[in-house]
Amino acid sequence: MDKEFYSHFQDDEKAFVDKAWDWIRRAEDHSMKRTDFLDPRQCHIITTLANRAEVRLRLDGGHPDAERKRAVITPDYRDPEEEDIGIRVLSVTSPDGKLAELEHGDFLGAILGLGIKRDKVGDVHIHSGGCHILVAAEIADYFTMNLNQVHRVSVSTELLPPDKLILSSLKLEEMTLSVASLRMDGIVSDVWRLSRAKVLVPIKAGRCRLNWKVEEDPSAPLKDGDVVSLQGFGRFKVLEVEGMTKKGRMRVRIGKYV
């Protein structure tokens, strides 16, 4: 791949770019590849690369609006839709109903605590009856044998096909901010009520992502639809930049993921 093409990606993404390009080249040489779960930024990268080669690409996360997806890459004469995407639904329930008190991070933490890499886990959907987690089929049985507790709550598990998935409703806690500018650091500090100084440290350390891409520039401007995550705090979406106030400040409507 030419050096000019690398300029489209950040330095910390180049290792994934190289790996994805190797998958695509192998598919061109008649070898099908099924990846682990990819985040939206990685899906964008692999789509960009696939468009430069004679391959076919399928992205599937177990439901149409999935955030994390597995990719199937095939030679251009094979239909990736005919390949098994390798996704199962891990259903987590508790007889005492205490799961209703738990959050996304509790379930994900319990899974990662088993020594499972994040790449093997897709979206997590909490619903009234428990939680449905999209997992890689090749290690799905490991979950049913080893996941018996989530945040000190005893649980039962079973595996279901993707068509039995119960989706969680997206919950956003809305707030309206009045900010001097659309700089990322200012909005991040207001959303989580942190001082500007405390926000600068994690941003410059690469622990902040803008649209799933590491963003180390505190002055990066935000716009409608942008998703920002700060490690250890969560993430939010810019729902709408509503315009200027009479005092010359920007009014911005934010949705925090809860």
Domain boundaries, the chain: 3-82, 87-164, 172-257
pLDDT in the model for residue 3:
63
- Please give the chain's pLDDT, 258 residues, in tens: 666 676 778 778 889 999 999 999 999 999 999 999 999 999 999 999 999 999 999 999 999 999 999 999 999 999 999 999 999 999 999 987 778 778 888 898 999 999 999 999 999 999 888 899 999 999 999 999 999 999 889 999 999 999 999 998 777 899 999 999 999 999 999 999 999 999 999 999 999 999 988 899 999 999 999 999 998 888 999 999 998 888 889 999 999 987
Task: Please tell me the predicted confidence (pLDDT) of residue 47.
Answer: 96
For the domain 87-164, what is the CATH superfamily, name and number? Answer: RRM (RNA recognition motif) domain (3.30.70.330)
- For domain 3-82, the CATH architecture is 2-Layer Sandwich (3.30)
Q: Give the per-residue pLDDT at 97.
A: 73
According to CATH, what is the number of the domain 172-257? 3.10.290.10
Do domains 3-82 and 172-257 share one topology? The answer is: no
pTM of the model: 0.81
SS (H, E, C) the chain: CCHHHHCCCCHHHHHHHHHHHHHHHHHHCCCCEEEEEECHHHHHHHHHHHCCCCEEEEEECCCCCCCCEEEEEEECCCCHHHCCCCEEEEEEECCCCHHHHCCHHHHHHHHHCCCCCHHHEEEEEEECCEEEEEEEHHHHHHHHHHCCEECCEECEEEEECHHHCCCCCCCEEEEEEEECCCEHHHHHHHHCCCCHHHHHHHHHCCCEEECCEECCCCCCECCCCCEEEECCCEEEEEEEEEEECCCCCEEEEEEEEC
